[in-house]
Chain A
């Protein structure tokens, strides 16, 4: 079985190499989870290279714009190359002043989507599609939105997994590789024994972390077995949700210095100061919680996206489903563990930070399952991925395998992408009705 899995992985990598002519580190890291990688590559290939409303260079430029919001120079450089290869106008790479107004108009929605997607309203959509010489058609807009969300989320993954630029001798054709400060340094891609490497031998006491693991499993078990006896009232549930939101506030104190964004990146962004602002701390402008049941991906998002940009819905659907259901029934050293609750907690916690609430979820579970260091990590990776450090990555779940942490990253990435898409698509739906 193991051999089979490896075989499958090799096949997939060979296929990817033969179609794209490269094997980037993202692909390599993701290849730990072969099943997922397949649907990831398929959807990415579709949105970048297959028939679609947007011309090819546009797609790569949008990817650059999206990655630039998180100063992800790795993705930027990758797509600068692709942009030029697909016949993009080199001048555009000098910065936003050089691009057509039409692309420039996408800035606003890019900014919101990246940091505070809940602020997107139908007015933003209307502004973009309003007839005029620089207007976007709805299919084009949906394509762009999908690309933006994909690359914001991918930036999270890149920083979360500490993916470094490929060691390529001749990348210096005009585009310098730059090291952003705080850039995560754990170079997974060059670690050939990822699966076998476990972090148990870190500085922290092994016994200590093992007991942590046991406790976590115990809690999961309890949650799975007894569906709580007391019926939590709506108040209680709401309070729990609010608490999670509030707590996510405290998870990171906003005491980060404003990083100096290197000019290589900043030329692709506008209003660099705009960042994630906690949904919970809205105060002045009271935004209603997004009720997941009122606008779900399965019922609404899919139909809209597929209507306007055919087939992408199926690919994304498959990807979301894949990541949500992916499990090896293992946790660190234990086997035969049902990790459903844990995965759901991760997924819903990300959505919680974006103000999306599930009626049928008890947010108390998040508190029980996700330790503080993990919450810090989740919040950083999803909201300010550029601030992720190796220390954060190491400090949670110390006894877990790398592959499991990559799995976590995948979950965070897809949850984030879905959250962004839900907000954007809801705005488009409202515009349509």
Chain B
């Protein structure tokens, strides 16, 4: 409380002073209202009806209006209003539908003056005429508004909204005869008090109930409304059609709105549910409240500015049974806490950075981005001199830093995405095709992977790939080392190779884990043959070793694993040899592909099956006479994980799709989903819509599959009567007219309809395409220059 400011404002002689303070009420408040002199406040609720005087330091209870042994339901107030001309006059709206007036001048304890029991349902709102002492207006759940003359016993006139419940009624401050009423169905009606038969104007302001409205105290044409749709809208009523001039989106349904005195664009709001804070918005800056009061612990139900001409004191009542006086100086200002900097990467690695201008200038002095800064684009928001002080801080600058065109190029991604074949052909063909594509783009490692996959999974020979893996395993030892390398440091030509290395390493290490019994000797083999380029007969030798391994028992297992861990250090220097020797790869690959090798494998096949089954107990029927292709699943899985880890989610997803069920179960759903979403996101950012859709279709994840099934509905309005067409897309049920005619052939379009976004004429896709090939004007003859891209 110490920090709370004490504020004094001069208001034509009387000074308003005070601090942020509160007092406990005995019960939740439903509404509050202030006396004209800003010295007293009345609080009303289901179980409370009291007047407090607002002192310097505290609220002091002045009067309890809830008297009598057994208070009647008439005391259960939904709303309360204090007359702004007569300080003895109050009116309340009771939940049972009674409108009660109170005369504080009465000598007796019971100040109840008049009872109007004309409404059949709860009365939501009462409102005094701003300049007429005896005129009271009420709006009720039963859909009626009633105007009472306090000198008479009954209502003077009844206004029927002809629709649902009335939520708020407000006399216009300037127009003597006008009042606004808001309704549960989202409408706002304007009435002339002299004409109870019909409203003057009506418009739909919100989607769902409009809970409140408030006329601008100065600008006579402005009406603010707040609704259940979480919006606050400001309407300019001066024009013939009510025009929405400002709209503020809040986070919860809006229960009350109150213009801030003396500040043309400020408005205070509180919400009906969930959110307990009071916000003061500058309607011109609708994204962030300019002030915020966070004191209440439950929903705020009533807000009122303490004095008609003082913008610094706000009173509020709440369901948490407290009454607060808020001082503007103590308000928290979310703008101060908001992060004023924005940072974003573009597809091509460009970086945009927006920040307060002051920050930018100091930064650029230090020049932190010298290296990358190619073409900084610089925007600055121009200050509007007429705008008020709070805008000064909001000027900001946006800089864009472009990265090196070469290194940031993502062409390969686009090309790959376009050229890859993912389905529709047998697996070997797909793999071959994709390998070729990758190779064409100088991505040898990826090409290699595809080739390996073909070998592993096409039924030709499964064992040969074992050898392939083993022989390639030479490189395995470089794995940890590579991690310490930064891609940037390596010339791009080498980059791909080194990456390839790593992948081999991955598959290798997995290999060890899998048929671990076989690895011990194998590793030794590798070490021996390291350094030398793969000799032609090495492959064969390896096979032999493999066979030997297969006879070994499982107890070798732990050793093998230890071996694996100790390997990296030994093989440290090896990497360079391989990297520097790209030909080795091609060599290898040729080997693997060569018929000679496969023939060789065919022989070994006869030996291996029995052992392999004994080693890993997988029952398998498809590859009865060979090593099951499942055998390599962990390797492939790790390859994919590796690619994804590297950021090449494209390869991972493509392989996933091509292999389909063969690999799907090896990778957990979540990871797959993650890959898919990343890849699809990338594709869509490159506007490769067709490919992204193909990927969605081919994916086996349920979450992904349904992506292109969401929001596939296109709602069409009839071009004639502007009503939505519910049944069929081409004929309107109401005006019985065909809505979408082709501008070229003048027939109804029932299938693909393309239309110009400029002039909204259109027609059959084919017709329009043909038309625009020869002419640049709209076929409808409207003179618009249509574009078809």
Contact = CB atoms under 8 A, between A and B. Distances in A.
Interface stretch (B67-75, B401-409, B566-574, B715-723): B67-75
Contact of B122 (A227, A304, A359, A429): A359
A299 B299 CA distance: 12
A302 B117 contact: no
B122 A360 contact: yes
B96 A233 contact: no
Interface string B97-112: 1000000000000000
A424 to B, nearest CB: 15
B249 to A, nearest CB: 14
A1 interface: no
Contacts of B297: 433
Nearest to A314: B208
Contact of B121 (A302, A304, A317, A360): A360
A294 interface: yes
Interface string A251-292: 000000000000000000000000000000000000000010
A231 B209 contact: no
Contacts, number: 74
Interface in B156-191: 165, 184
Given A237-B96, A360-B122, A303 B73 contact: no
Given A51-B710, A231-B117, A433-B298, A359 B273 contact: no
A227 B98 CA distance: 12
B95 A359 contact: yes
Contact of A300 (B94, B141, B273): B273
B228 A303 contact: yes
Contacts of B772: none
Contacts of B70: 233-235
A302 B208 contact: yes
Contacts of B71: 234
Contacts of A433: 274, 276, 297-299
B78 A429 contact: no
A206 B72 CA distance: 45
B120 interface: yes
Contact of B209 (A51, A298, A359, A429): A298
Contacts of B118: 227
A432 interface: yes
Interface string B645-662: 000000000000000000
Interface in A222-255: 227, 231, 233-235, 237
B120 A359 contact: no
Nearest to A430: B298
Interface string A406-433: 0000000000000000000000010011
Given A233-B72, A234-B73, A359-B73, A304 B274 contact: yes
B253 A360 contact: no
A307 interface: yes
Interface in A376-433: 429, 432-433
Contacts of B76: 293, 359
Interface in B389-419: none
A227 B272 CA distance: 32
Contact of A360 (B97, B208, B298): B97
Contact of B272 (A299, A317, A360): A299
Interface in B285-320: 297-299
A227 B117 contact: yes
Interface in A39-56: 51
Interface in A144-179: none
B272 A234 contact: no
Given A314-B208, A360-B141, 4 more contacts: A291-B46, A291-B95, A303-B252, A433-B297
Interface of B: 46, 70-74, 76, 78, 94-97, 115, 117-118, 120-122, 141, 165, 184, 208-209, 211, 228, 252-253, 272-274, 276, 297-299, 710
